[in-house]
A and B are shown apart, each in its own frame.
Chain A
């Protein structure tokens, strides 16, 4: 009897008494290793997909793959068993997303090599549990493969999600695991909402057009009693003062409604909100062509800023608000919006001030640009009111 200690033969410790099995070893290129399977989930905005690498040796033991008994498993023999492999394995895996049990459906069968041999690569879809609007936040996995006949089998789990990579190990005495997919630190969460805010103001073309339309006249003025139209301002000071009033009003207003909506205190139908936002852009553009409000544009910014805030809130809701860090997300998102807005303003104002005296600015941008903006905004309004799709696939 040879004594094999901890998987290594202990030379001095081996005593020869009794029977030793005379087995000529087959000499495979593979390592000798206890049985593992490699399970991975990929979580993204499109949902959850899975991949499960399971050793052919283990599947052979569990369900038998070597149909002709020649000691070799051919791809043809594996293909014959694909349905059985998928149903055997997936019956031993339970996945819950946000507490809802998911359906698991095989999508693809491949082959891959690991250190100890070739593996079935079973790709599958995790579905029927995550709505399109709710991001996966919590993942519960129950793993029960091969434990019935191999007490040392382990399932090595890897989850790739926007919050980062998580890993876990399933063993016969720990077959269930719970994973939080949200960002772990508050700072990370804050950062991600901040980035979303910046991103949203930059791609939210209606907010940008509203703001620009209100800012275009900041470097110009209408002389009293003159019918000559917009004239360039002399100094930067009054222009900056005007910009500051408009931007601050807009910011304060949309922050108020964004907070009220995100906290669930006030809510408005999104069609009304979106239509009114389009109307606000139209109004701001038309005011540049046919000035009605000049000095008091900051009031317009405030009034319609309230409506734009509801628009931001619906974006924030789509992102999936963390219940335990609602305020953090709100502040992060809002500051992101302001930062994004500040970047736009700081690029726009110097350029506008430099170009204010040119015909290009006063005619082409101020009038021509506003006409185009007004037309676009009018179309949006029609789309949003009548739920049509004319120019913008929103």
Chain B
């Protein structure tokens, strides 16, 4: 069985007979997506110098990578546009595509330079502006992110413009105001789009958490999941809430089918470990293997998760702290700060937590478990003196 085999350590072997299924593909040949991709691929193969076809194919691959969480498609996208990326004055659509690929690989500065180039030539390019907003937010440059919101406001809907600033306010100590503003805008401008509703509900859940209202947060997360829109992020956020509430038994059934995602598998193994689930050991090994495989190829995409894994399941505080600090150089969302605080506390080294403590002081981030961690670290440095 493929599902079981994926989590076992295997040895090279000859399958028992010709009918054994060795691999399941993400798509069937008759799937509309597969058919569309095949057509684009053959058009691209027939005329690799046709930029329109190449960019269209790259875009399709990139969207697939985002939707399925499968990074293979990003490599395909990059190969498709490669003939044009070397030029100093690469065409705008190629530069935009290259920016997306670069940020995917955590090459944030070159990605931002590409986005700047796009916006310089096309100031109304909402996609480029949105990505700039997103990258500034991830790197905790809230001033620059706010500036992008201002530029986006006239180009987008009231709800989107409200959400843009609410998201920034929410990490800067104004969660209650942000929640009120966003929920009011949501009520006044209801959307029929399930994706849209799901997204706003997830943001409201996060803001509620920061206000200290876990029951309200849980309601929003549940509503977001109930929209039926498949989204790994909300599952991760809800799983974290349940783990914080010491309710791991509820995480296990929710994430059972999400082992493909390193991010969700981490939450699953933390929960399984807490309830001594039978699959815990196997899943812990699988995740360790994945981190090892990523290290082998030199990837550092999931250091936040690896830090939590290393701290909570392997109890290696030194390595967990190093991973958390390394991760912070690139990504500075609340969760990225939390792994530093947790690892530093476990190591009883409040000085090491400085980047996260500074961020907490600068933003006034409100979420209770974070404040508790800061208090314990401060106590630690107080007694040390």
Contact = CB atoms under 8 A, between A and B. Distances in A.
Given A5-B134, A7-B301, A14 B22 contact: no
B14 A111 contact: yes
Most buried by B among A22, A33, A153: A33
Contacts of A150: 72, 75-76, 78-79
Interface in A54-101: 56-58, 60-61, 66, 69-76, 78-79
B296 interface: yes
B87 interface: no
Contacts of A60: 23, 25
A111 B66 contact: no
Most buried by A among B15, B17, B203: B15
A8 interface: yes
Interface residues of B, number: 103
A161 to B, nearest CB: 19
A74 B19 contact: yes
A28 B26 contact: yes
Interface in B1-30: 2-15, 17-30
B74 A23 contact: no
Main secondary structure of the interface of A (DSSP, over half): loop
B285 to A, nearest CB: 10
Interface stretch (B211-219, B227-235, B244-252): B227-235
A228 interface: no
B23 A118 contact: yes
A304 to B, nearest CB: 54
B79 A75 contact: no
B214 to A, nearest CB: 17
Given A73-B21, A75-B22, A151-B82, A16 B75 contact: no
Given A16-B196, A28-B24, A115-B286, A5 B260 contact: no
A169 to B, nearest CB: 6
Contacts of A148: 79
Nearest to B331: A6
B84 interface: no
B103 A114 contact: no
Interface string A145-158: 00111111110100
Contacts of A29: 2-7, 259-260
Interface stretch (B123-131, B346-354, B356-364): B123-131
A21 B258 contact: no
Given A12-B171, A16-B199, A6 B3 contact: no
Contacts of A270: none
B297 A117 contact: no
Contacts of A72: 21, 23-25
Interface of A: 1-18, 20-36, 51, 56-58, 60-61, 66, 69-76, 78-79, 110-118, 121, 147-154, 156, 169, 172
A-B pairs, 6 with minimum CB distance: A76-B18, A69-B29, A152-B75, A71-B28, A29-B6, A151-B78
Given A30-B6, A111-B12, A154-B297, 7 more contacts: A7-B104, A17-B126, A20-B67, A27-B257, A73-B25, A113-B5, A148-B79
